[in-house]
Structure 1
Amino acid sequence: MNKAELIEAVATKTDSTKAQTAAMLDALMATVQEALTKMDAVQLVGFGTFAVTERAGREGRNPATGKTITIPAKKVVKFKVGKSMADAVANSKAKVAKAR
């Protein structure tokens, strides 16, 4: 499901216009991004938690040359799924979609 499909599905479920739903989704994403840039976690009970963690620097290899390279430390966003969401997915009868 892409953003346009998500907007259409939410608009249908909430009996809102696509424009209103798109504005709300954009505001939600901007608000989550602002919180994460301030290193605040965003917890949506039953859905999951977005949080920023520090990934340590490490040694890696260039797959083309085999040369050792240093991969620097960086901040990354992690998502931990909530129990209700995990249970719903685990009990789903739908086929697993292949990554595009």
Structure 2
Amino acid sequence: MTKADIVAEISEGTGLEKMETQKVVEAFMDSIKSSLSKGENVYLRGFGSFIVKERAEKTGRNISKNTTIIIPAHNIPAFKPAKTFVEEVKNNVKVK
């Protein structure tokens, strides 16, 4: 499912125009990105949490040059689904 599919489905379900729905979806995503950039987690009850995870410094290898490099500690965005969300997916997804 793409962003365009999401916009079309929300538009159909709410009766809003697609352009308005697209603005809302974009604003929602911008809000989440902005919050995570500030180090603030986003909690959506019944859906999940968008969180910032810290990755520790580690040693990596460049196999083409056969050298060792240090990968510095850094933060990455992550999504943790709510338990109800996980259960719904487990019970409803049919593997093809």
TM-score normalised per structure 2 = 0.89
* CA RMSD in angstroms, aligned pairs only: 1.5
Partner of 1:53: 53
Query: In the aligned structure 2, how far is the partner of 1:9 from the partner of 1:64?
Result: 47
2:13 aligned partner: 13
Matches for 1:24-43 after TM superposition, within 5 Å: 24-43=24-43
Deviation track 1:60-98 (CA, whole Å, cap 9, x = no partner) reads 1224344322111111111111012101111123336xx
Q: Distance in 2 between the 1:90 and 1:63 partners?
A: 40
Deviations 1:15-43 (A, max 9, x none): 21111110000110111111111211100
Distance in 1 (CA, whole Å) between partners of 2:2 and 2:93 is: 21
TM-score (norm 1): 0.86
Unpaired stretches in structure 1, ≥5 consecutive residues: none
Paired residue total: 96
Structure 2 gap ranges (5+): none
**Structure 2 Cα separation of the partners of residues 26 and 89 of structure 1:** 25
- SS of structure 1 residue aligned to 2:92: coil
Q: Counterparts of 1:20 and 1:72 in 2: how far apart (Å)?
A: 42
Asked if 1:3 corresponds to 2:3, the answer is: yes
Identity across matched positions, percent = 34
